[in-house]
Amino acid sequence: MPFISKIQRQSDFNLFSSGTPIVIDNGASYFRIGWAGETEPRVVFRNIVQRPRHKTTGETVTIVGDHDPALLKYFDCTRSGPRSAFDSNVVYQFEIMEYILDFGFDRMGAKGPEIDHPVLITECVGNPVQSRSKMGELLFETYGVPSIAFGVDAAFSYKYNQQQGVCDKDGLAMCPGFTTTHVIPFVDGEPIYKGSCRTNIGGFHVTDHLKQLLSLKYPYHLARFTWEKVEDLKMEHCYIAQHYASEARLFQKGAKEAEEKTRCWQLPWVPPPTEEPPSEEEIARKAAIKEKQGQRLREMAEAKRSSRINELENELHGLEFLLNQLEQVEESDIPSFLAETGYVSRQEIESARSKVMQSLRKAKGEPKSEQAETEKADPAANEKYSLINIPDDMLTPNQLIEKKKQLSLKSMSEGRQRLKQKRHEEELERERKQQLEEEKRLENPELYLEELRARYKDLSEKVDQRKRLKTNGGHTNGNNLSGAVGRELARISSRLQGLDPTFVPKAETASTQPAEVPRVRPLTKEDFQIIFGVERFRCPEILFNPNWVGVDQVGLDEMAGVSIRRLSCKDEKLEERLTNSILVTGGSSLFPGIVDAWKLEFG
C-alpha cells in the first residue's frame, strides 16, 4: 500500500527481541508508537487518514498524518478529505484504524504483516467493550501479535509520577485532551474509575472556537485560517487567565498591560510600487515629444489636404475643358463625343462639375455661398422631383408610385431646410443677445454682475426644488428644469467664472454632472496583520465554561468536585488529600497559566 509522508522509516526493528513490547499511545489527536523502556516515542503523527487519487495516473494513495502541502497539487482531494477513526474519544472506524496501524508499524521498520511483539495500547476511560473487542480482533487477526494490554494514558502518567515521588497515593489525574476531558481519582495508589468524570470539551473545541472568531474578525483572510495554522496559533499564543473578568476589563480599557499582551501575526504582503512625480526635465522632454508628434501629424494632414486640393483642381479643369469642347462640337456629333468621354448627357457633366466644386470649397475651408446653393438646388430639385407637377391622369401606375415617393422625399427635404433655417435664426438671435449683454456690461459692469448673480441664484433654487421634489416622490407639474434651465444655469456659471474671480459655483448644480466615484483606499501593511487580543484567553476559557460553545456540561473547575462526590468513602480528610495532589496531563494542559488557575480554584 503506497504511503505519502515526511516521516522517515526506522531501520533497527530487527535489533529488538520478540519479547520487547511495542507501546502505542492511540490519541484522538496524535498517534505515538515506540519501544517499551525508551523515554520518547519513535514515530509521532496526526491520527488522520486521507485517500486521494493521482490526477494523472488515477492511482489511489494513502496519506496518513502530516503531509507535505506541495505534494497535494498532484492529487484530487475534492472527494476525499481528512478522516479520523474516532467519534469523540472512542474508536469506531476500524477500517481507518487499520490504515493508521499499517503506517505506524511500517514507519517502525516492520518488513512484513506479522508483528511478533507484545502490544500495549491506550484507550479512553470507560471504553465500550465492543470497541475494545474490535481493536483486539484487529491486532490479533491482522497483525498476529502474541498478546495485547489495554490501559488509560492518564492513569499511566499518574502511576509513573507516583513512582517518581511527584504525586501522592491519593490524588486526582486531570486530563484535558483533544475532544474530551477526564478526571480520575486515585485512592491508595489505584485509580477509581467509578468516580471518574468526563466532559465533552477539549482542544478541538478551542481550535474551532478560535477559527470562528478569527474568521468573523478578518473575513477577507478566510483562506489563511486553515485548521493546521489555527492549531499552531493556538499553541503559540493562547493562555489561561487567572481572573477572566478582570483580564477582559483590562483589554476593554486599553491599558498598557493589554498592549503588552497583544500579539500580531503578519501575513505576507508586498508593498505596491511607489510612483515618484516626474521631474521638470522629464515633463519638458515629454512636452517636446508631444509637440513634435503633433507637428508631424499637422504636416501629414496638410500634405494630404494639398494633395486632395490638387486632385480636385485637376478634375475640375478637366470637366471645364470637356464642357468647352462640347460647346464646339456640332449637334450631330454630340452622342459620339459623349460616348468617348464616358458621360451620357451635358447635364451629367455639369452635375459632376458642381460636386467637384463643392468638394474643392470644402477642402479649402471656404464658406458655402447660399445664393449659389439656392441656384444649384433649384434645377437639381426640378430634375429630382420631375413628376410632382404632372397631373395623375397623365402618369402610369409605376410613375404614380414614384410620384408619391418624390412627394415624401420633397417634404422631408423641405423640413430639414426649415429646421436648418430655424437653427440659423436662433444662432443669430443668440449672437444678438450676447452683443447686447456685452454692451450692457461695458456700460455698468457692477450692475451687470449683480444681475447675473441674482439670475444664477434664482435658477439654482429652481434646480434644488426640482431635486427635492424628485427625492421625496412629489410631482413637478410637467416642468422640464433639467433641460433648458440646466443649460442656462451652466452658461451663467461659465460667464460668472470668466468675469468674477471670487465666484465659486455650487457643487452638483448641473443635472448632467456625473457622480463622484468613491476612491478605493490602497491596501497597507496593517491590512495584512492578524491581531490577537482577547482571543488569546477567551478561547481556552471554554474549558472552564463549555456552555459558551453550546456544551451544557460542567467545566474543569467543577469536575473535581463531581468526581469526589462520586466516591463512596466516609473519610472526611479524603477530599483534602485528593486536592493536594493533582496531576495535569493531556495536550490541552500545555496552555500557560492552567496550573495557576487550578491552584487559585482549589486554594
What average pLDDT score do residues 567-589 get?
85
pLDDT at 568: 75
pLDDT digits (tens, 9 = 90+) for 53-75: 888 888 888 888 877 677 777 88
pLDDT digits (tens, 9 = 90+) for 247-256: 999 998 888 8
- Give, as one character, the DSSP assignment of residue 79: S
Cα–Cα distance between 442 and 437 in angstroms, integer? Answer: 9
State yes or no: pLDDT of 536 exceeds 90. yes
- What would the grid cell of residue 272 be? 505596491
State yes or no: pLDDT of 94 exceeds 60. yes
Measured over the CA atoms of residue 331, residue 335, residue 338 and residue 343, the dihedral's sign is positive
Q: Which of 121-130, 180-189, 569-578 has the lowest mean pLDDT?
A: 569-578
Cα–Cα distance between 122 and 155 in angstroms, integer? Answer: 10
State yes or no: pLDDT of 52 exceeds 80. yes
pLDDT digits (tens, 9 = 90+) for 261-288: 999 999 998 887 777 788 889 888 998 9
The full DSSP string for 187-224 is ETTEE-GGG-EEES--HHHHHHHHHHHHHHH-GGGGGG
User: Locate cell 478605493: which residue?
Assistant: 520
pTM, entire model: 0.61
pLDDT at 509: 41
State yes or no: pLDDT of 150 exceeds 90. yes
For the chain, the average pLDDT equals 85
Q: Kindly give, in sequence order, each residue whose CB lies less than 8 Å from that of residue 161, ignoring residues fewer than 6 positions away.
A: 167, 583
pLDDT at 1: 44
Read off φ and ψ for residue 42, nearest 5 degrees.
-80, -40
Instruction: Check residues 182 and 430 and name the one with the higher pLDDT.
Output: 182
Residue in 246, 221, 220, 248 with CA at minimum distance from that of residue 233: 221
Q: Provide the pLDDT confidence category of residue 513 given band limits of 50, 70 and 90.
A: very low
CB atoms within 10 A of CB 29: 21
pLDDT digits (tens, 9 = 90+) for 112-144: 889 999 999 999 999 999 999 999 999 999 999
pLDDT at 212: 94
CB atoms within 10 A of CB 126: 13
Q: What percent of the chain has pLDDT over 70?
A: 90
CB-based contact 20:42 (threshold 8 Å): no
What average pLDDT score do residues 535-543 get?
94
Cα of first residue to Cα of last residue in the chain, in angstroms, is 55
Cα–Cα distance between 157 and 586 in angstroms, integer? Answer: 10
DSSP E strand stretches across 65-133: 75-76, 86-87, 90-91, 119-123
pLDDT at 115: 92
Contacts of the segment 588-592: beta carbons below 8 A, 24+ positions apart: 588/176, 588/177, 588/178, 588/181, 588/202, 588/203, 588/206, 588/540, 588/543, 589/174, 589/175, 589/176, 590/235, 591/238, 591/239, 591/240, 591/540, 592/239, 592/240
Cα–Cα distance between 113 and 142 in angstroms, integer? Answer: 8
Q: What is the CA radius of gyration of the chain?
A: 49
Cα–Cα distance between 535 and 520 in angstroms, integer? Answer: 30
State yes or no: pLDDT of 326 exceeds 70. yes
CB-based contact 195:171 (threshold 8 Å): no
Q: Provide the pLDDT confidence category of residue 364 given band limits of 50, 70 and 90.
A: confident
What average pLDDT score do residues 188-216 get?
93
Strands 119-123 and 148-152: parallel
